[in-house]
Amino acid sequence: MSIYHKVMDILLLTALMLVITLFIKYIWQNLRTSNSKIKLVLTNVHRKELERNYLNTLKDLQDLKFALDESNLVQIVDKSANILYANEKFCRLSEYSFEELKGKNMRVLNSSYHSKEFFRDLWTTVTQGKVWSGEIRNKTKSDTYYWTSTTIVPFLDKYNKPFQYIVIRNDITKSKELEKKLEYLSNVDGLTSLFNRRYFDKMLDYYWQSLYKNQNSLSVILFDVDYFKCYNDHYGHLLGDQCLIDISNRVKDLMNSYEAICARYGGEEFAIILPKKDAHEARFIAERIRQEIEQLNIPHEWSKLNSWVTMSFGVASVTPNQDKNPLELLELADKSLYQAKNNGRNTVA
């Protein structure tokens, strides 16, 4: 092969390599452009999806806030219990405007009903990042009281430490008032409005334990209407009931100035608990009641003692200790009442 042909072959090969290189470069550029467009399309789609999710989440949160505000009393407080937010529903119940509450400590609502231990347990729970639930009595701006069923939820930081709390409440004032009324009715005798025997026994146990710790006297008076069966037989049960009502009203008036539990213990029998009163003081009170009942001048023509209703009284007094129990105190009072009847009735023993 001549030198000329060799040179031409080299030139053709060089030209071919150049064309191939340019073609590859063109293809690569097109591929990069296509990938960028694909990436751009994917990025736009992803951004739109994120925006849509964000808007949906925001709407869900707004719906939740609306639902909470409409159905609950809501507050947000910082870790020191200073109020950051209070919804309109809570402001109406508390009688404070949000401007008055903002920055104030939750203590502004304290009704002094709950003990220090109650609040210590509450804050121990929430500062550990746990949810607390319970019933709280608070005070309004005008010093009236309201009850709420309360849930306190901690908001935790990245270290799992509470930095805020959301306080969600429901107004249960009416149900608490109804509960209190029902409890009262369950403890009260329907005829006389004195306490009933069940409540009397409960309070006798309570005072026994309380006065045992302080080593104070505890006295009980048992008393009943003399010849009450004869009264009912002669005058009828309606007048018999009225007789018991009149006696009860007089006893309540007399005992208003004392710390005492007055009860209809059964039938025509009554009982009084006198905490921190010794035997001498209890006998004095019993004698005063006896005289006042006689002075009511309730007719009793069938009494073997008097033409008026009279009563007999038994008094017992002890200082509670571990060797005795409340039942023994009642038994002593009952024995004293029996003794009063043996002594001719219309007397105190």
- Show Cβ contacts of residue 51 under 8 Å, excluding neighbours closer than 6 positions: none
- Show Cβ contacts of residue 72 under 8 Å, excluding neighbours closer than 6 positions: 87, 89, 168, 169, 170
CA distance 68 to 84: 17
Q: Strand 218-225 and strand 311-318: pairing?
A: antiparallel
Spatial contact of 315 and 270, defined as CB atoms under 8 Å apart: no
Q: Kindly state the tokens that stand for 1.
A: 């092969």
b/e sequence 281-309, b meaning 16+ C-beta within 10 Å = bbbebbeebbeebbeeebebeebeeeebb
Radius of gyration, alpha carbons of the chain = 43
Single out the catalytic residue among 70, 100, 183, 268: 268
Q: Nearest-CA neighbor of 192 among 258, 260, 256, 243?
A: 243
268 carries an active-site annotation: yes
Beta bridge partners of 184: none
Q: Which residue has the tokens 């710390």?
A: 259
Which amino acid makes up residue 20?
A: I
**345 in the Ramachandran plot: left (φ > 0), alpha (ψ -120 to 50) or beta?**
left
CA 253 to chain CA centroid, nearest Å: 32
CA distance 256 to 271: 15
The residues annotated with a catalytic role in the active site are: 268
